[in-house]
Structure 1
Amino acid sequence: MTAAEPVLAAAPRPRETVTARAAAPRPRPRGYTVTVRALGPLLLLALWWAASATGALTPDVLASPAGVIRATGELWGNGQLPDALVTSLTRAVTGLLLGLVTGLTLGVVTGFTRLGDELLDSPIQALRTVPFLSLVPLFMVWFGINEIAKVLLIAVATTFPMYVSTVGGVRNADPKLVEAMRSFGMGRLAIVREVVLPGALPSLLSGLRLSMTLSVIALIAAEEINATAGIGYLMAQAQSYARTDVLAVCILVYGLFGLLADAFVRLLERILMPWRRAGR
């Protein structure tokens, strides 16, 4: 036996298996996740109620939670709130769909073809740096104060996040896989549909989340263009009469739009990419 043999015999065994097992996180109970997510809004609601009950927050600054609930019942009972919800949702969804289709199409063309990259990427990147709010006066001159200006403003705001995410996802497609599909005689459209877009799905969903969030922000700006219906119109009327309870209702509705949009994208992620939920 050589002097090196005892050292080799005493060497510890590899621990790769133990490390891999320890690194695997246990899934959290669904009730725990829901409770933790609800803590933040419940805390804000409790602070709001306490400030109103103690007089630190007066009704002329912000109505109490009870006053907001009464205003919601009043607006729902006289039909103003349902009509405003339908009008605002129609504007937001129409502009969002237009922006998503435009951003997805331009992103695929730019990310998948060299000619599209050379022709389109530079001008689109230049336009992307222009704040969409600065386009409000120009859109009013071009399209007047009708629905077209409002919908197009939302479309412009939602196009660029989808474009950037699509370009990034398409360019990350495996070139070897794309080349293999071409060698089997698959055309460009088929490769995009069957290979590129499925591989870019995480980026597409990220762009969808950003676009849906921006659609709510753009909706608020769009409804400032002399709206005669919608949540923005209710806010303008409430501002004229200093109705802070109605203003709070409208703000909460906008916030609810954003939460529903985020929940919708999370649901799509669970359906389209179930492996991302594994181990959480």
Structure 2
Amino acid sequence: MDNATSIAASAGRPTRISWQGLLPWLLPVGLIIVWQVAVGLGWVDSKLIPSPLAVVQDGITLWQSGELPKNISISLFRATAGFALGGSLGFVLGMANGLSKTMRALFDTSIQMLRNIPHLSLIPLVIILLGIGESAKISLVTIGVMFPVYINTYHGITSIDPELLEMGKAYGLSKRALLSKIIFPGALPTILVGIRYALGVMWTTLIVAETISSNSGIGYMATNAQEFMNMDTVLLCIVIYALLGKLSDLIAKALESVCLAWQQERSAA
């Protein structure tokens, strides 16, 4: 059978669903089924814990009214802006301190001291200085995101094998070439770990910021619903945060696959 015939035969076969692809969703779907059954059979008071179907129906109602998409877009803007600012600042400081001993001596000790202060404890100070506007919430996300990116970038840069650097210098590579061909590629896996961790911190910080001092966003929706004992909306907001967190993790994994494709090719060879 020639190649064309093989391709045609394989194209005509039904696509098989991989069990490994289904495994990550097995536990969440199972919990939702148990949750629905427990509420339906009266094992759980539906006034305290509404059923998944009730939560979905509440989400549809809020979406049709325009309230849900508006607050989701506001939260996404805050998260994205804070992540961009904090990630950029952490990356630049990590690169500078990792590459320069002078910069390291000047800034690293101060950054490490600030890193050990729980950033959520700064909420009262941020509110006093910036109020409860967008700048306060974005600033909190920026602070929370900056340190994971910084520490992983710094660690990745300083963990490069010195022998690789010596070999690059022996081949006559310039400082720019050393950075682009040896230092940055070697530090990239660690940097991406920091980005993935920072995405989780981003949502955690935003949840707290929006529930304490906000008049919009998903966290505000949850707080407002809690005051009126509207558990459908409270659980809906929790589910939305979980889905957004999972989406962020998938984006981080895709970024790792794209940026570290050379590692997979080298290991396969």
TM-score, reference length from structure 1:
0.84
CA deviation vs aligned residue, 1:140-196 (integer Å, no higher than 9, x gap): 011111111100100100111111111111012232333454562613x55333431
1:1-280 aligned at under 5 Å gives the runs 31-182=18-169, 184=172, 186-187=174-175, 189-274=176-261, 275-276=263-264
Identify the residue that residue 12 of structure 2 maps to in structure 1: none
For residue 200 of structure 1, give the secondary structure of its aligned residue in structure 2: helix
Closer, same or farther: CA 185–42 of 1 in aligned 2, 3 Å: closer
For residue 45 of structure 2, give the secondary structure of its aligned residue in structure 1: coil
Q: Contact conserved, 1:110 with 1:117, CA < 8 A, in 2?
A: yes
Closer, same or farther: CA 51–265 of 1 in aligned 2, 3 Å: same
Q: Contact conserved, 2:94 with 2:153, CA < 8 A, in 1?
A: yes
For residue 247 of structure 2, give the secondary structure of its aligned residue in structure 1: helix
CA shift, 1:255, in A, is 0.5
Once residues 216 and 190 of structure 1 are traced to their aligned partners in structure 2, the CA distance between those partners, rounded to angstroms, is: 37
For residue 224 of structure 1, give the secondary structure of its aligned residue in structure 2: helix
Once residues 245 and 111 of structure 1 are traced to their aligned partners in structure 2, the CA distance between those partners, rounded to angstroms, is: 48
Once residues 154 and 28 of structure 2 are traced to their aligned partners in structure 1, the CA distance between those partners, rounded to angstroms, is: 36
CA shift, 1:59, in A, is 2.3
Q: Which runs of 4+ in 1 moved over 6 A?
A: none
Structure 2, gaps ≥5 residues long: 1-15
TM-score, reference length from structure 2:
0.87
Q: Sequence identity of aligned pairs in percent?
A: 33
Q: In terms of mean alpha carbon deviation, does 235-244 or 172-181 score higher? A: 172-181
> Rg: which structure is higher?
1
Once residues 169 and 146 of structure 2 are traced to their aligned partners in structure 1, the CA distance between those partners, rounded to angstroms, is: 30
Across the aligned residues of Structure 1 and Structure 2, the Cα RMSD in angstroms comes to 1.9
CA deviation vs aligned residue, 1:90-145 (integer Å, no higher than 9, x gap): 00010011111111111111111111221111111111111111000000011111
Once residues 123 and 213 of structure 2 are traced to their aligned partners in structure 1, the CA distance between those partners, rounded to angstroms, is: 11
Q: Contact conserved, 1:59 with 1:244, CA < 8 A, in 2?
A: no
CA deviation vs aligned residue, 1:192-224 (integer Å, no higher than 9, x gap): 334311111110110010000100001101112
Closer, same or farther: CA 185–46 of 1 in aligned 2, 3 Å: closer
For residue 223 of structure 1, give the secondary structure of its aligned residue in structure 2: helix
Once residues 264 and 48 of structure 2 are traced to their aligned partners in structure 1, the CA distance between those partners, rounded to angstroms, is: 44
Once residues 276 and 59 of structure 1 are traced to their aligned partners in structure 2, the CA distance between those partners, rounded to angstroms, is: 49
Structure 1, gaps ≥5 residues long: 1-28
For residue 216 of structure 1, give the secondary structure of its aligned residue in structure 2: helix
Once residues 90 and 255 of structure 2 are traced to their aligned partners in structure 1, the CA distance between those partners, rounded to angstroms, is: 19
Once residues 70 and 41 of structure 1 are traced to their aligned partners in structure 2, the CA distance between those partners, rounded to angstroms, is: 19
Q: Contact conserved, 1:157 with 1:214, CA < 8 A, in 2?
A: yes
**Bigger RCO (CA 8 Å, 6+ sep):** 1
Identify the residue that residue 6 of structure 2 maps to in structure 1: none
Q: In terms of mean alpha carbon deviation, does 53-62 or 178-187 score higher? A: 178-187
Once residues 170 and 225 of structure 1 are traced to their aligned partners in structure 2, the CA distance between those partners, rounded to angstroms, is: 37
Q: Contact conserved, 1:150 with 1:225, CA < 8 A, in 2?
A: no
Identify the residue that residue 4 of structure 1 maps to in structure 2: none
Once residues 227 and 35 of structure 1 are traced to their aligned partners in structure 2, the CA distance between those partners, rounded to angstroms, is: 38
Once residues 153 and 28 of structure 2 are traced to their aligned partners in structure 1, the CA distance between those partners, rounded to angstroms, is: 33
Q: Contact conserved, 2:211 with 2:222, CA < 8 A, in 1?
A: no
CA shift, 1:30, in A, is 7.0
